[in-house]
Amino acid sequence: MKQLLSIRQWGPARLTAAGFLVLILVGTVLLMLPFAEAGTARASFLSALFTATSAVSLTGLIVVDTGSFWSPAGQVVILALIQLGGLGIMSLASLSGLLFTGRISFKARKTGAYEGRPIAPGGIRKTLIFTFAFTAVAETIIAIIVAARLMIGYGHSFPRAVWEGIFHAISAFNNAGFSTNSDNLVPFVADAWILLPLAAALISGGLGFPVWAELVRLVRRNRFVVHRISITARMTLTATAVLLLAGAVFFACMEWTGLLSSMSLGEKLLNSFFASASPRTAGFNAIDYGQAHPITLMGTDISMFIGGGSAGTAGGIKVTTACVLLAAMAAEFTGRETTTIGHRSLPRSVTRQALALSFAGVMVVTLGVAALRFFDPEFSGDQVSFEVLSAFATVGLSTGITASLSAPSQIVLCLIMYLGRVGPTTLVAALAAKSVSRRYSFPEERPFLG
pLDDT of res. 48: 95
> d(Cα 330, Cα 312) in Å, to the nearest integer?
28
Q: Is 145 left (phi over 0), alpha (psi -120 to 50) or beta?
A: alpha
> Are 173 and 86 a contacting pair, CB within 8 Å?
yes
Q: How high is the pLDDT of residue 242?
A: 94
Terminal Cα distance for the chain, rounded: 56
SS3 346: strand
> CA 424, 85, 34, 139 torsion: positive or negative?
negative
What was the pLDDT predicted at 433?
44
Q: CB-based contacts of 226: which residues, under 8 Å, 6+ apart?
A: 234
pLDDT, block means (10 residues), the chain with 450 residues? 52 72 94 89 92 92 92 94 78 47 48 48 62 87 96 93 95 90 90 94 84 78 66 89 94 94 94 92 86 93 89 81 92 88 85 87 94 95 94 91 94 93 62 57 75
Coil, strand, or helix at residue 222?
A: coil
Give the pLDDT confidence score for residue 50 in this predicted structure.
Answer: 96
| Cα–Cα distance measured from residue 20 to residue 52, given in angstroms and rounded to the nearest whole number | 11
Give the whole-angstrom CA distance, residue 305 versus residue 239: 14
Task: Supply angle C-alpha 257, 259, 265, rounded to 5.
Answer: 65
Asked if residue 90 lies in contact with residue 111, where contact means CB atoms within 8 angstroms, the answer is: yes
Helix (H) or strand (E) holding 411: helix 407-422
Looking at residue 446, its pLDDT comes to 72
Burial label, 433 (beta-carbon count in 10 A; 0-12, 13-18, 19+): exposed
Tell me, letter by letter, the H, E, C secondary structure of 312-345: CCCCCCCHHHHHHHHHHHHHHHHCCCCEEECCEE
Q: What is the DSSP string of 225-261?
A: -GGGS-HHHHHHHHHHHHHHHHHHHHHHHHHTTTTTT
Judged by DSSP in three states, 310 sits in coil
* pTM to 2 decimal places: 0.86
Neighbour count for residue 2 (Cβ, 10 Å): 6
